[in-house]
Amino acid sequence: MMRTESDILLEFEKERELSPELIEIIERTFDTKSELLPSRTLLDPYFKQLNVKNGSYLKSFYIREHYLKHCFVAYNHEFMKSLSILMKANGIESAVELCAGTGWLSHWMQKYGLDVKATDNKSWSKYKKSNNFLPLVKKQDAVKAVKANRKTKLFILSWPYMDEVATRIWKAMRPGQILLYIGEGHGGCTASDSFFRAVEGHEKYLLGITELDDNFLRFSGIHDRPQLYRKP
């Protein structure tokens, strides 16, 4: 039996409806009063069912819509613990987040006992209009932030825009400094071709990066991941 337009619209609306439990989990992620992020145990059942094969790709889209009000990544307890272990295991005492957006990654890093500064030029209209920036985000151009933190061992760049900002950041970094890049790869919807050409061959393995990647949650159809690059 052929589905009518009404059937399709009804299916769309059904997929848009998120359970109260899931909404509570997402809201907890973006509540400054929360002390811990939701665990993989809570999030995995929702993320594992989100794939095209079982027809749940629309649900993934709508779940991601809720996260996008604040950031691009579904941060979780295990990911943040893995990041903490990675930094401590490699003698990284502090970090600077560039293009930090609303600042939720740095917020949670601080909650988990990590020393991090968040910077952003606050120019992106989506967040600028809603004034969603957390107080910890310092208004500063990314390249200027790199040059102002010459002794910093680790810079973090999550979901940079598809322009040359990631390339300019990489060029401004000093030899030996490390970039934790979170985003899609070459041809994806983050950074630029010139950035991926520049960092090619400079992937850096640090103790804990495998666990960090394992605990990174991805939305269906999105191919982002955490990667480390060391400036030669």
| DSSP-assigned beta bridge partners for residue 115 | 94
Hey, where are the domains in the chain? Answer: 5-68, 77-230
Across 183-209, average pLDDT: 96
3-state secondary structure of 88: helix
Fill in the amino acid letter for 40: R
Q: How many helices (H) and strands (E) does the chain have?
A: 11, 6
Q: Which CATH number fits domain 77-230: 3.40.50.150, 3.40.50.300, 3.30.56.10, 3.90.226.10?
A: 3.40.50.150
Query: pLDDT value at position 57?
Result: 58
pTM for this prediction? 0.90
More confident residue, 132 or 208: 208
Q: What is the pLDDT of residues 10-51, one digit of tens each?
A: 454 455 578 889 899 999 999 999 999 999 999 988 877 555
Q: What is the DSSP letter of 203?
A: B
Taking alpha carbons only, the member of 212, 173, 181 closest to residue 90 is 212
Give the number of other Cβ atoms within 10 Å of residue 94's Cβ. 14
When pLDDT is cut at 50, 70 and 90, the band that residue 7 belongs to is very low
